[in-house]
Structure 1
Amino acid sequence: MKLLVIAIVLMASNHYCHGVVVKVWQITDIHLDGYYSSTSGQPQNWCHFDAEDGKALNALGDFNCDSPWPLVSSVIKAMQDIEPNPDFILWTGDSSPHFSKPQPPSMEYVLTVEQRLTDLLTSHFNGSNTQIIPVLGNHDTSPAGNFPDNSTFYKQFRQEGHWDAILPSEGAKVEFQECGYYHFKARGLTFVVLNTNLYYKTKFTETDPCRQLKWLEGVLQDPDLAPRSVILSAHVPPGFFERSSTVAFFTNALHENKINDLYLDVLMRYSDKIMIQLYGHTHTDTFRLYSSNDQVKSIGLIAPSVTPLVTKFGDESTSANPGVRLYTIDLGLGRVMDYHQYYLDLEHNHTTWSLAYTFRNAYGTPDLTIKSLETLFQNMQTNETLFQLYYKHNTLLYDNGPCDGDLCRRAQYCGISDAWLTTR
């Protein structure tokens, strides 16, 4: 009954007077672990079965571990119950688990996970005109982060991971085979899907691995692209983790950070074409302001994960309740009007997905544009109540305690507002 009420409220709020409304689910960082044991799991060993030291665990997950199958199936079912006819489902990567000992998940395991999740999504949304948009995450290979400049790898992934069934066009399949990136047009939007895992702790030393930035420039130079018509999506965002500002995401084997700023340079040059950038990876709920010459020119949103796993970047460990997000986009205005953030309150052992908050209601903004997010960020720095509300949402209402020190605040402010690794 609760889901039905939420869906009715959502439908009622989707009627904007300016243009056609498009609905987009974003689901990210599922990290499905088939070895999770709710009957005798060991939390210090990824909740895998342990006959001697294991214990009974929540069937829907544990904050020390990755997602069990019941959690994954429950979130897809909740998506279907809340909004069964979205225009798009943006699936932003990291479907396989984090464990690495005694050995990481094999490539066979990774592809099996992709098959299961692709089939699960298509089976729940097979009666609609929904386009599923898959994005590679750094854990969608074996070992994690091992993405070669080799078309054979991507062709195998496409075919054996069942992505051939969901990639939106033959052209997208050809592009994906190059190095995991592609683009397509639908409903007046251009979706640009990138493989930014090529830049995350990468073995590559060249400045443009897999020629992705050159390709991206070619796509964004299209004279037929209308202003604010591009939704750019990838798994790993540029810049820093907002809970530990010493952690930069884009680095290569020589510990050089050039690729981060080259990436941002391209996005700044074509920022008038980009409506929004959508990422995952951090397992947290936050946003980004991307600036050039002291002017915010583009914005990004980072969606929280399905996995409840405690993530650790630098010295900061963070738990978060599982989440999934539904965007409302006005095509006439070329902007994200709102999003509904859903969550499973695993901290209090709830079993039903519910609404955590809507962006406009929570933060008092009219939409999610550059002006609105820039104003929100400015207000967060002077309004303690507003900042602490954002901080609660950062871990999807999981209580990690308040952000009450200068170090914590600076990390959040820098993570949100400064993605450059050199002085600009």
Structure 2
Amino acid sequence: PVKVPAGKWGAVYNCDIPHKTFDAAMKHIAQAHKDLDYIIITGDMESHDNWVYTREKTMDNIINITQVLINHFPTTPIYEAVGNHEGVPQDSMGPHNMEEYDTRGPTWLYNTLADQWSRWITPESVKGVQYRASYVEYPSPGLKLISLNSDYCAISNFYLYLNQTDPDDTLNWLISELLASEQKGEKVHIISHIPAGDNYCLKGWAHNFYEIVNRFENTIAAQFYGHTHQDHFQVYYENSNPAGRPTHFNFITPSLTSYSYNNPAYRIYTIDGGYEGASYTVLDAETYTTDLNEANAKDQEPQWFLEYSARDTFSLPDLSPSSWNSLIDRLAVDDDLFTKFHRYYWRSSYEENCVNEPQCRQHYVCCLRVAKSFDEDTFCAGM
């Protein structure tokens, strides 16, 4: 039954945004941010009517979304990662060693992505997308961007239960790319969909990925994820010891979709670059959002506004792993700061008196320490 009718521009409930809201958002971004060097999209182009997915519908959606992007950003490079909702059924992306790969495998999907992304990536990268939906690009001299297919860790990708050992040799491929960059003195950005600290990611993959990140902590300059739809982050630690040295962190960017109980959002990153020896670390992250209820009530296009700057709002000296780790400590004890974080987590759209509920607050703070799935006991001990 329909409990709350969706408005013209969507609704802040268990609802995805309509196509017109996506188009309006892209129009706004193109007009408001004319100096973008490139755009990152971390996957999930499908709505959440999971059990009515078809290959034809998914291919049409990918093509339609690509056309909207081309219309609004005709000259801006766009780098995308595949999301778990692109699978049909959802998550279904089997590796090449599965039986009946030619008929049950994701070749149809990977070829569609390769075709649509080919305007922004090299022919060599197109081959990578066709094989494992992962690829490498160079947005700037000295910066390698790796788009990693993390659906190979999705807990509901049932093909993985036949053999979970590094599907399609993807982590080995990642290691080889990181090692090559380390030897050349390059910096690397990883874009992917499912963060390894989310329990939607299989434990074996997450454990191995965590070790890879720590091994190449001086080469990986930043990581960007989606999937959760929320606004948060995850910190890595040396030897998986949360009392030890923080080594890295995941940016987990809030979603453009309103599913579930979120106002839409997007993020602008300012990155150190453009000169020889640049660190390519993120200097600031500015999150923009809109109020769907207001847009519906006024019958006007959503009005976007700067919600917050990470450095200014959280008083961070920089966006290093140690700064994010210190923020976690402050969130545990500073009521006003935690209330602010919680509000941004939901884009001001979800009422919950979490600050005064110890278990609720502990859950949010604990998750920020966990960049390895199913390991809360290790990273949240003593909280």
Match of 1:288 in 2: 234
Distance 1:138 1:155 in 2: 15
**Given the superposition, is the C-alpha separation of residues 356 and 225 from structure 1 closer, same or farther in structure 2, using an over 3 Å criterion?**
farther
> Which residue identity does 1:114 align to in structure 2?
I
Distance 2:263 2:129 in 1: 32
Offset of 1:334 from its aligned partner? Answer: 2.9
Match of 1:342 in 2: 288
Match of 1:214 in 2: 172
Distance 2:117 2:225 in 1: 23
Distance 2:259 2:280 in 1: 35
Distance 2:53 2:35 in 1: 34
Offset of 1:158 from its aligned partner? Answer: 4.8
**Alpha-carbon deviations, 1:71-118, whole Å to 9, x = none?**
111111111011134111101111111113xx4221111111110111
Distance 1:327 1:393 in 2: 17
Structure with greater strand percent: 1
Runs of 4+ in 1 over 4 A off after TM superposition: 150-155
How many corresponding residue pairs? Answer: 348
Match of 1:58 in 2: 7
The answer on 1:279 being equivalent to 2:232 is no
Check the 8 A contact 1:192/1:230 in 2, yes or no: yes
Q: How well do the aligned residues superpose, as a CA RMSD in angstroms? A: 2.1
Match of 1:400 in 2: 351
**Given the superposition, is the C-alpha separation of residues 233 and 160 from structure 1 closer, same or farther in structure 2, using an over 3 Å criterion?**
closer
Distance 2:345 2:369 in 1: 15
Match of 1:230 in 2: 188
Distance 1:210 1:159 in 2: 16
Match of 1:182 in 2: 135
Structure with greater helix percent: 2
**Alpha-carbon deviations, 1:171-191, whole Å to 9, x = none?**
111111221111122313111
Check the 8 A contact 1:154/1:179 in 2, yes or no: no
Offset of 1:225 from its aligned partner? Answer: 4.2
The answer on 1:114 being equivalent to 2:62 is yes
Instruction: Determine what percentage of the aligned residue pairs are the same residue.
Output: 24
Match of 1:80 in 2: 30
Match of 2:265 in 1: 323
**Alpha-carbon deviations, 1:131-156, whole Å to 9, x = none?**
10011000012111001224866653
Check the 8 A contact 1:154/1:177 in 2, yes or no: no
**Alpha-carbon deviations, 1:388-421, whole Å to 9, x = none?**
1111100111132231212212211221102334
Check the 8 A contact 2:332/2:362 in 1, yes or no: no
**Given the superposition, is the C-alpha separation of residues 225 and 402 from structure 1 closer, same or farther in structure 2, using an over 3 Å criterion?**
farther
Distance 1:236 1:144 in 2: 14
Distance 1:207 1:79 in 2: 41
Match of 2:299 in 1: none
Q: Any unmatched runs of 5+ in structure 1? A: 1-41, 48-54, 241-247, 252-256, 311-318
Distance 2:112 2:154 in 1: 25
> Which residue identity does 2:150 align to in structure 1?
T
> Where in structure 2 are the equivalents of 1:189-208 lying within 5 Å?
189-201=143-155, 202-203=157-158, 204=160, 205-208=163-166
The answer on 1:134 being equivalent to 2:80 is yes
Distance 2:137 2:264 in 1: 30
Distance 1:164 1:357 in 2: 31
Distance 1:213 1:343 in 2: 35
Match of 2:335 in 1: 384
> Where in structure 2 are the equivalents of 1:235-246 lying within 5 Å?
235-240=193-198
Match of 1:18 in 2: none
Distance 2:294 2:117 in 1: 39
Q: Any unmatched runs of 5+ in structure 2? A: 297-301
Offset of 1:367 from its aligned partner? Answer: 2.7
**Given the superposition, is the C-alpha separation of residues 286 and 225 from structure 1 closer, same or farther in structure 2, using an over 3 Å criterion?**
farther
Stretch of structure 1 that moved more, 193-202 or 218-227: 218-227
Distance 1:64 1:299 in 2: 29
Distance 1:224 1:171 in 2: 21
When the two structures are superposed, what TM-score results if normalisation uses the length of structure 1? 0.77
SS in 2 for 1:190: strand
Offset of 1:330 from its aligned partner? Answer: 0.8
The answer on 1:363 being equivalent to 2:314 is yes
SS in 2 for 1:298: strand
The answer on 1:258 being equivalent to 2:258 is no
SS in 2 for 1:381: helix
When the two structures are superposed, what TM-score results if normalisation uses the length of structure 2? 0.85
SS in 2 for 1:139: helix
Distance 1:325 1:277 in 2: 14
**Given the superposition, is the C-alpha separation of residues 213 and 160 from structure 1 closer, same or farther in structure 2, using an over 3 Å criterion?**
closer
Q: Which of residues 297, 309, 319 in structure 1 aligns to 2:259?
A: 309
SS in 2 for 1:108: helix
Offset of 1:167 from its aligned partner? Answer: 4.2
Match of 1:123 in 2: 71
